[in-house]
Amino acid sequence: MNMNYINTLLNGEQGIFKADTLTPMQKITLRFVVVGLVYYAFAAIEGMIMRIYEITPIPIMNEKHFFAMMTAHPLVGIFGSTYMIVFGAFLFLVPFLMKKPLWSIKAANWTFFLITIGTIVMWSAGFLSHYAPLYTLYWPLPADFTQFSAVGGAVFIFGIALIMVGTLIFVVNIFKTIVYTPDGWDKQPAGALLISALGISGSQNIFRKNKKEHLVPLPVAAIARGTVDILLNALIITFTGVLILIYMLWEIGGISLKSTAIDALLYKNWFWWGLDLIADGAVLIFVAGAWYLLATLITGKKLFMENWARAALFVELVVSWTVWSHHLLSDQAQPGILKVVSGEMVTAFELVTQGLAFFITLVTLWSARPLKMTNPLKFLLGGLLGFALAVPCGILQADLGLNRILHNTQWVVGPHVHVAVLVGLTMTLYAAIYFLFPILTNGAKWYSQKLANFHFWAHLLGGIGMGAFMGMAGLKGMLRRAIYVDGEFNIYMILAGICGVFLLLAFLAFLYNIIMSVGINGALGIFKPAKLKTKDLLPAEGK
Amino acid sequence: MADSNDVLNGLIVVYTTYSILIISLVAWFSYRITRQGRGGLVKPSIFYTWVIMLAVLGVTLHLFTYNTIPWSPMDLNRADIKPDKVFEITVSNHQFQLPAEKMIIKTSEKVLFKVTSTDLTYGFGLFRPDHTMVLQMQVLPGHINDILWQFGEPGIYSIRSTEYSGPKGAYMVVKDAVEVTE
């Protein structure tokens, strides 16, 4: 091995990255991103193992382990990876865009530790005890102690509780940062800032002749509105967790509580109401906000139809509170009026809000032709394509007639969920990471553009391909959350598995590129205490 | 009556066509934005047209399926339709307990499957021998779970739970449980 290679491996590309020069804010943001990527690797490897098990049950694990993995997989992906990367980015971006320091770095550290530890506690409890009610937790399955250990379940719920506490601290930190008055500043109009952040003043602008200046930049408004859904979701998950925990603690104490005390349909309604605040609320709002931010930063142009974009984010927030019934279209006891109004019609409005964000972003990019095809731009386009493919899938399955033959099939989880998450959301996050990388590292250079290109193509083709083959299996009747032992759908699962390998290779290329860019010493240095004592986001010379 | 396979084939055509179009559009756009050209903004009227088109498309989809997929109106109005046959099935401890007599149905008959769970949330699905799905519904404990159906084709169908109910439920299959004749 030549000395140059070892030097780059240890100290990064051209030795530019110096962890000692990072501010505490840069370090905390990078820590969030690094841990988020580690958990992404967890979820990706688990996904591959499960894919192999779907092709042929492998002897190293049994059904209990398989379903425990399936329970942990989306939770590690959502909380351990996506929450970490998104929270880290937003804790940096909100003060960056508001041009004032974060309200509390200490609170940001608490969020980091609680979600990092909570995820590993939850994952370990599932791994060791095989607690596996899946993230859907349909009552009374989470309290079925003939199948699951109450102790294992209690530890699992404790891990989720840690994540929720970290999430609530994040919510407080974001809203306080928007409205608070930093030391030495003139008193900030907290109420007006909050109204602007929630989009009420922005929506009024559509109907005003003399448009008012927005107090809060559009991406911050998107973050604030998505954070409202994050808060409501955390409250629902915490409430549900406490309820399940009561059953577990009583069971451990030798008393079996009656599971029929909780109505299964009512439980399903509130659980999906809460879960959709993330799936159909925060994700879509955050992603639209990220598209707008990236489009304006990449082009240097004003956003096309900004007031409409703000209004759409507000509509998306309200829509996210009223769409949960599309998960209950195959529940015959669910009232028909809820199925039609909430499940079909309101859900169809996601086509409008997301289609509008898609259009606004494309027109803003178009206005700045010719653009250089940079890494952030190409990943942004990948993210746009991901949602353009996945959202119509969601609208199609949120139909009374089609849901009857699509519900719980691989169609739902393939071209809808995995394409939305892996192509739409993750590629948007990658666009933000590629964009923020030089800012957060004080100008570090990427080791290899070829690896970045490979990362893009392998991820895009792997993600779309995996979703497509899962979808084909779903249309042929393959269920999700099921095991097929006679090779019924092997052709589709093998092809989806090959696409999964592409996704994994894409991630490894990205990881290698990052390590070679900042060096092993630099990567470790991110986790050492910051030498600079400042609340500023960037070092003085880097501003 | 149209079969689920007819509807799924239609869906394959629609979604595949859409996917090819949207991938081509984004690919074309990605190429064009790197080229010189007029970068003027799109007229607001095009934007408003786009928004209205999306809203119309979203609502029209449901109106179209309601009027073309036969089980949609039948499902919403099943309380007012008298079935020709009723089969009561119980699910308990990860087992389907079927009616004593074999479930034999004619394609001309409307049949009501009434499924009750005594413990967990399960699913009730009917599948063809080639594993494609005919229908499914959720089975919640403490609630009436019924589905009214008219089969489009004769055949022998298997029951499978379509909802995860723990590792014990992974193999909840009853082969050749329903026979449909002309």
Task: Give the number of domains in chain A.
Answer: 2
Assess whether A283 and A428 both reside in one domain. Answer: no
Assess whether A409 and A502 both reside in one domain. Answer: yes
Assess whether A80 and A163 both reside in one domain. Answer: yes
Question: Each residue of A19-28: pLDDT tens digit?
Answer: 999 999 999 9
Assess whether A376 and A250 both reside in one domain. Answer: no
Residue of A9, A2, A25 lying closest to A536 (CA atoms): A25
Nearest chain B CA: its distance from A68 CA (Å): 9
Is residue A420 over pLDDT 90?
Answer: yes
Nearest chain A CA: its distance from B108 CA (Å): 20
In a domain, A304, yes or no: no
Three-state SS for A492?
helix
Give the Cα separation of A316 and A97 in Å (integer). Answer: 22
Assess whether A293 and A406 both reside in one domain. Answer: no
Task: Report B:116-135 residues touching A (Cβ under 8 A).
Answer: 119-121, 123, 125, 127-128, 130-135
Dihedral over Cα of A68, A46, A412, A345: its sign: positive
B128 dihedral zone (left: phi>0; alpha: psi -120 to 50; beta): beta
Q: What's domain B78-181's architecture? A: Sandwich (2.60)
User: How many Cβ atoms are within 10 Å of A55's Cβ, its own excluded?
Assistant: 17
Contacts of B162 in chain A (CB under 8 A): 407-408, 479
Assess whether A274 and A408 both reside in one domain. Answer: no
pTM of the model: 0.95
Please give the average per-residue pLDDT across A189-198, as a whole number.
Answer: 90
The answer to whether the CB atoms of A352 and B146 lie below 8 A apart is: no
Give the Cα separation of A510 and A41 in Å (integer). Answer: 11
Question: Each residue of A360-378: pLDDT tens digit?
Answer: 999 999 999 999 999 999 9
In a domain, A40, yes or no: no
Assess whether A242 and A381 both reside in one domain. Answer: no
In a domain, A518, yes or no: yes
Question: Each residue of A221-234: pLDDT tens digit?
Answer: 999 999 999 999 99
Find the helix or strand (DSSP H, E) in which A267 lies. Answer: helix A264-277
Is residue A2 over pLDDT 60?
Answer: yes
In a domain, A355, yes or no: no
In a domain, A328, yes or no: no
User: Residue A344: its pLDDT value, please?
Assistant: 96
In a domain, A32, yes or no: no
- Best of B91, B162, B172 to disrupt the A interface (most A CBs within 10 Å) is B162
Give the Cα separation of A391 and A389 in Å (integer). Answer: 6
Give, in degrees to the nearest 5, the angle at Cα A404 between A398 and A410: 75
Give the Cα separation of A4 and B160 in Å (integer). Answer: 61
pLDDT band at B172 (very low <50, low <70, confident <90, very high): very high
Distance set, CA A102 to CA A49, A180, A344, B169 (Å):
40, 10, 41, 49
**Bridge partners, B97 (sequence order):** B90
The answer to whether the CB atoms of B62 and A400 lie below 8 A apart is: yes
Residues 6 or more apart whose Cβ sits within 8 Å of residue A215:
A189, A192, A193, A196, A201
Residue A217 structural domain? 69-299
Contacts of A416 in chain B (CB under 8 A): none
Task: Report A:440-469 residues touching B (Cβ under 8 A).
Answer: 464, 468
Q: Which of A273, A299, A325 is the last residue of a domain?
A: A299
Assess whether A399 and A291 both reside in one domain. Answer: no
CATH of the domain at A485: 1.20.210.10
How many alpha carbons lie under 13 Å from residue A281 in its C-beta half-sphere? 26
A260, A333, A396: residue with CB nearest B144 = A333
In chain A, whose CA is at the least distance from the CA of B65? A401
Looking up tokens 């002309």 gives B182
Asked if the C-beta of B175 comes within 8 angstroms of chain A's C-beta atoms, the answer is no
User: Residue B39: its pLDDT value, please?
Assistant: 63
Assess whether A123 and A225 both reside in one domain. Answer: yes
Question: How does DSSP assign A496-537, residue by residue?
Answer: HHHHHHHHHHHHHHHHHHHHHHHHHHHHHHTTSPPSS--SSS
A331, A368, A476: residue with CB nearest B138 = A331
In a domain, A284, yes or no: yes
Question: Each residue of A271-300: pLDDT tens digit?
Answer: 999 999 998 888 999 999 999 999 999 999
B11, B127, B130: residue with CB nearest A402 = B11
In a domain, A423, yes or no: yes
The whole-angstrom distance between residue A489's C-alpha and the CA centroid of its chain comes to: 29
Is residue A543 over pLDDT 60?
Answer: no
| Interface size between A and B, measured as CB pairs under 8 A | 229
Give the residue range(s) of CATH 2.60.40.420 domains in chain B. 78-181
